[in-house]
Amino acid sequence: MNSPFNTSAGGLPDEHLRYAKRGYGMDQNRYAWSMLGERKPVQWPGGARVALWIIPALEWFPLNMKGVPFKPPGAMQTSYPDLRHYTLRDYGNRVGIHRIMQVLDTRGLKASVAVNAAVACRYPALIRECTRRGWEVIANGLDMDHLHHSGLSLEAEKQLIEQTLSILRDASAQPVRGWLSPAKSESFHTPDLVAEAGIDYLCDWVNDDLPYAFKTASRAIHAMPHPIDIDDHTILVQNHHSEDDFRDALIDQFNWLYREAGQAGGRVMAISLHPWIIGQPYRIRALEEALDHMLRHAGVWSATGAEILDAWKRQQG
């Protein structure tokens, strides 16, 4: 039987290439497609090879979640009231985050904390603890039941973003330059709206190991590398791997980036954490051991997302 892809040239049929939006990269016009190896190498401050970017998430999952248009990772799972899962998520903000703080404090490491605005309203002392440490606050939407998606009107999404940023900027006394959508869910308008609201970098797109310029309707912002495949939720909860597997994945990721950076310029080692997961007593050791491995290497720069972006931008002229 002949395949529809068997052409005389041995490649794809002509019709495949006539799709109006098909081209290099993805089906969008947000960035110029490029290969990592062909870009200008970046040098981090002090000649560091790897920028270590740690991003804990402070999330609030409403007990009566609507789950529209889908349930985000960590959502309530059983019939209302799902107190078992609600209180486990709350454990992260009551207990788990303080273990992460202790781990980072002991090692003199910085963080960029992704915060639902609802957390700043419900637990203002928690935000004060973050800012007292000099942690950068980045916006993580209103809460984990207010996802950004194409079913929202433009005006409704704009109001949601403005409300989120107003709360977090007031609570943190920071400019709040970074944005991570809840569950990384966007509408087609989200990048334009957050740029208009003063955001400088976006964490939703997972297609790179370095920052890159990102087009919006009003001005250029940047996408930052915020991977999901090595975060604690993916490895420990979704994939049901062990704590040692999580530690080893972080170490393997770091080792490769560190070696690559020695040959081709700086890289970003981004670690996304959920305090209700990694902040458990039997799990926090895995984070400690992974970080200690990284810190035994020379040329590791602990930085916030804004610091990484600014260092990268200074070299792109």
Integer Cα distance of 276 and 87 in angstroms: 10
Written as six digits, the tokens of 93 are 């903000």
Residues of the chain with pLDDT under 70: 1-10, 16-17, 19-26
CA 294 – CA 254 distance, rounded (Å): 7
C-alpha span between 3 and 17 (Å, rounded): 17
The CA angle 235-213-249, to the nearest 5 degrees, is 15
Digit-coded pLDDT (tens) for 77-130: 999 999 999 999 999 999 999 999 999 999 999 999 999 999 999 999 999 999
pLDDT for 192 equals 98
* Bridge partners of residue 273, in order along the sequence: 56
Please give the domain boundaries of the chain with CATH numbers for all domains.
Answer: 42-314 (3.20.20.370)
Residue with tokens 């959508």: 181
pLDDT at 24: 58
Q: What is the pLDDT of residue 6?
A: 44
Rg (CA), the chain: 21
Q: What are phi and psi of 279, to 5 degrees?
A: -80, 5
pLDDT of residue 317: 73
pLDDT tens figures, 24-45: 556 778 998 888 989 999 999 9
